[in-house]
Amino acid sequence: MARNPLGSPTKANATVSNRALGILFLVVFIDLLGFGILIPLVPFYVERLGVGPELITAVLALYSLAQFLVTPVWGHVSDRIGRRPVLILCMAGHVGAYVILAFADSLAMLILSRVLGGLTAGNLATAYAYVTDLTPAEERAKHLGKISGAFGLGFIVGPALGGLLAGTGDIADANFVRPALAAAGLSLTALVGIVCFLPESRGTVNAHNTSRGTPGRGHERGRGFGPALALVLSRPVISLMVLLCLTVITFAAVRESIFSLWMSHQFAYGPATIGMVFSFNGIILVIVQFTAIGPLTKRFGEYALLLVGMTMYTACWIGLIIAQGLIMIMISMAASAIGTALFATSLQSMLSRRAGEGQRGVVMGVFQSASSLGRFSGQTVAGTIYGQIGPNAPFLLGALAMIPAFIIAMRIGTRLKSSDEPQVADGQKREKQP
């Protein structure tokens, strides 16, 4: 049987794998640049229709709901037919969603845009699975950190660009057509890049993962959300990791969905300033992802970084509660960026190391769905909390939610140290097979 060039354990083919990862990074960055353009502005697309924060965040939440429902399916499809076709379909969906958003003049069109975007939001989970196809376990955190760093890079340029495209005045005078069309154009560019330059990673004889392209035991089980969830629930540590993700992301989403409105309503900041704050958050995220994740993981291990990340999330929420101006807001967002980098990358790497060869797409898909469910839950209630309880109430609840989150994390740590679970306290150790 002829070997796929990406999988042969030769120096030349290792170069091919590195080139493929580089291409993946570029197309993910380009797509997320468009995503970043709209992140600070999407709440105002809804607000312009004359609705309150309760409905604004509910409309935002439709994206996460759709993503939650279909991401495990995308994971299963990518395990069966390959990562590349899924990436192509998802990028095409993004183009359509952004074009609809650009010309949305009714609540129905906004809902259609959000749902279409969510239904085709399997690109990140698929990109993570692509990386795990081509990297050894001991280098996975570094490469996953780079892909996550593409998100941060998109957040550096995207929000600032979106703010400038919307206009330097206040929200009432902003132009929201230009940012959406720019996002559509960037996703179209990413789509062309995948079609023309990105090779398939699935079905390779990978030198690091020793897969011959045949489904693992869990592969046939992971059909649809039910079997995929059953697979995850059968693995205690993975189940706890998914629960931790759900807990933390829910309250992170409460903050994220209301943050732009909070800055506009409480401090009268316009789109340019709001975009600048989001870009600053991206700068910190990228610095940590590209310079610190690898060395810190080797020095302290993924689990320790997970706990530090959760601590930084807590600091962010407390900082926003006491913020009186832009400086404290930016300090708090810096803490959030560090927390996101350490928490998300460490948890994803720990999870991917415990997924079987034929189960990575399914397990990562369920993990991404848990993240989407958390975002949906948080976004759905964020507007009500903000409007009915108070503008700082979302941040207070986020800080309090870290108490049960730390309890879950402690249980994960206990199981990781037990004799029948892989050890990750030392970043240099290799996991045992479950």
DSSP state of 8: S
Q: Which amino acid is at 94?
A: H
- Selection from 263, 302, 355 nearest residue 75 by Cα: 355
In a domain, 273, yes or no: yes
In a domain, 410, yes or no: yes
In whole angstroms, give the CA distance from residue 385 to residue 394.
Answer: 6
% helix, strand, coil for the chain, step of 5: 75, 0, 20
In a domain, 209, yes or no: no
CATH number at residue 252: 1.20.1250.20
In a domain, 409, yes or no: yes
In a domain, 46, yes or no: yes
- Which pLDDT value is given to residue 228? 64
In a domain, 214, yes or no: no
- Which pLDDT value is given to residue 246? 92
Q: Could you list the residue range(s) of the whole structural domain that residue 398 is in?
A: 14-202+219-417
- 215-232 pLDDT per residue, tens: 333 344 445 556 666 666
Indicate the Cα dihedral angle 303, 304, 308, 309, nearest 10°.
-30
In whole angstroms, give the CA distance from residue 312 to residue 151.
Answer: 19
Write down the pTM of the prediction.
0.77
pLDDT under 50 in the chain at which residues? 1-5, 7-9, 12, 205-222, 419-434
- Whether 118 and 262 have beta carbons less than 8 Å apart is answered as no
Task: Look up tokens 């090779």; give the residue.
Answer: 199
Helix axes 360-384, 326-353, angle to 10 degrees: 150
- 391-427 pLDDT per residue, tens: 999 999 999 999 999 999 999 988 888 744 444 333 4
In a domain, 399, yes or no: yes
Q: Judge residue 390's burial from the number of C-beta atoms within 10 Å of its C-beta, 0-12 exposed, 13-18 middle, 19 or more buried.
A: exposed
Domain count, the chain: 1
- 118-129 pLDDT per residue, tens: 999 888 888 888
- Which pLDDT value is given to residue 234? 66
Collapsing DSSP to helix, strand or coil, 418 comes out as: coil
In a domain, 425, yes or no: no
- Which pLDDT value is given to residue 207? 40
